[in-house]
Amino acid sequence: MRLPVFSSKFTPNAVLVVLINFSAVYARTATSEADEAQITDPVEECTAYYYAPVTDALDGFPTIWQPATIVSNDTEAQNIWANISQSVPTNILPHGDIYGDWNDTSYNVAEDPDCWWTKSLCTTPKLSTLPADVASIPEPETMGYGFDDGPNCSHNAFYDYLLEQNQKATMFFIGSNVLDWPYEAMRAIDEGHEICAHTWSHHYMTGFSSEDAFAELYYSMKAIKLVLGVTPTCWRPPFGDVDDRIRAIAEGLGLQTIIWQYDSFDWEEQSGNITAAQVYTNYDNFIARAENGTFNTEGSIMLTHELNNFTMQTAVTYYPKLKDTFKYLVPVGVALNKTQPYVETNYSLPTFDEYISGNVTTNSSSSSSSSSNSTSSSTSQSSSADVPLIQTISSVLLASITLGILMLAV
């Protein structure tokens, strides 16, 4: 195994501190997608590992978990932005900042000139060239089933459960998480989940300059392409924070904007702002609506997360009830008959009719095995525990941990 190349961004002291912290929680590290998928101890699941294709590509990305800008020598990104920027409105200015601080009391919410969802729940752009957001599900009595903020390092129990239930979902992945946890991202696509982007660093998009908002979307797509071999065609704005300026950038990148109608607020439980009981009430109310006919002509989407044990366990706990109450639970793309979910045409989703008649699996052409590296033996016991620690820590993960990331939810 090669030594990881530590980025020059890290000071030796920072690396040392991380190594010390790591040894305290040291557990074995995963060596492949299949190996990672077998780990059941969340501490081991979340032990950093080395994945060469990511480490080798880091120079081409913004700093993990930091607000994105176009990488200075990335002429490809610059050219794409030069092209897209021509159709991005310049009369819509950034709102507040990227932390969701909107002192912008001057915004006319009643007129809502920017179709700013965060203020008005607007999903039909004022700019006539833009398509409407996907906010509900055209199929009656159907739930568009999906989870934000993954891949989470400790998601195995949750993904095992989905596999047992033969249930697929739409996973809205954060670019920085994909590079931190590539094997977990691979597990999602290989088990037939639909992958959409959820930005690079998970900030409020309408607070970015247009060029930086482009970088947030572009590098999240690039991270997914690097690790999964496919380019997503859908995204969900963190906190739902989108307006026509951001929609135009997403549209330029070929990304369909997907929002929601109901929020479980599962993401707020860890901040202590909301109790578990309140989250259960939100799920119960959603189910009550399904029971009282609210979704009889049009299905719905509820915001839920692959964020931490609470959000994933709540999803597991409520799955049987959702399954009983809704006629169908399907990935958003399946509900839309979006059989080609990625730019690459060697991967397809079943149609809605195929899915509900039992064919829930994606068809991926086997000519080239997926770029996800699942070729190494899945059953052999990993012997990585005796590999020196420094060789097994991904420099990517060092980046997140050194920076002391406090992940924002939604």
Ligand X SMILES: *[C@@H]1O[C@H](CO)[C@@H](O)[C@H](O)[C@H]1NC(C)=O
Q: CB of 275 within 8 A of CB of 315? A: no
- Show the binding pattern over residues 232-261: x = contacts Zn ion (CB under 5 A), - = does not: ------x-----------------------
Told to judge if 148 belongs to the known catalytic residues of this protein, a careful annotator would answer: yes
Residue 241's nearest CA partner among 216, 268, 222 is 216
Distances (CA, A) of 54 to 153, 226, 321, 330, 365: 16, 7, 39, 31, 24
Residue 121's nearest CA partner among 136, 137, 105 is 136
Residue 397's nearest CA partner among 109, 243, 205, 176 is 176
Q: CB of 17 within 8 A of CB of 407? A: no
In DSSP terms, 328 is beta-bridged to 142
Catalytic residue among 133, 148, 180, 244: 148
Asked if 113 touches ligand X (CB under 6 A), the answer is: no
Residue linked to tokens 């793309």: 333
Q: Of the two residues 148 and 180, which places its CB atom closer to Zn ion in the complex? A: 148
Window 123 to 152, contacts with Zn ion (CB under 5 A): 148-149
Residue 251's nearest CA partner among 85, 97, 79 is 85
The one among 19, 42, 321, 323 contacting ligand X by CB under 6 A: 42
Burial of 220 (0-12, 13-18, 19+ CB in 10 A): buried
Partner from Zn ion, ligand X, none contacting 289, C-beta within 5 to 8 A by type: ligand X
Nearest distance in Å: CB 47, Zn ion = 24
Nearest distance in Å: CB 319, ligand X = 10
- Show the binding pattern over residues 243-282: x = contacts ligand X (CB under 6 A), - = does not: -------------------------x--x-x---------
Residues labelled as active-site residues: 148, 305
List interacting residues with ligand X (CB under 6 A).
31-32, 42, 52-53, 59-60, 73-74, 83, 86, 96-97, 101, 103, 138, 152-154, 157-158, 177, 229, 268, 271, 273, 285, 288-289, 292-294, 308-309, 312-313, 316, 336-337, 344-348, 350-354, 359, 363-365, 368, 370-371, 373, 375-376
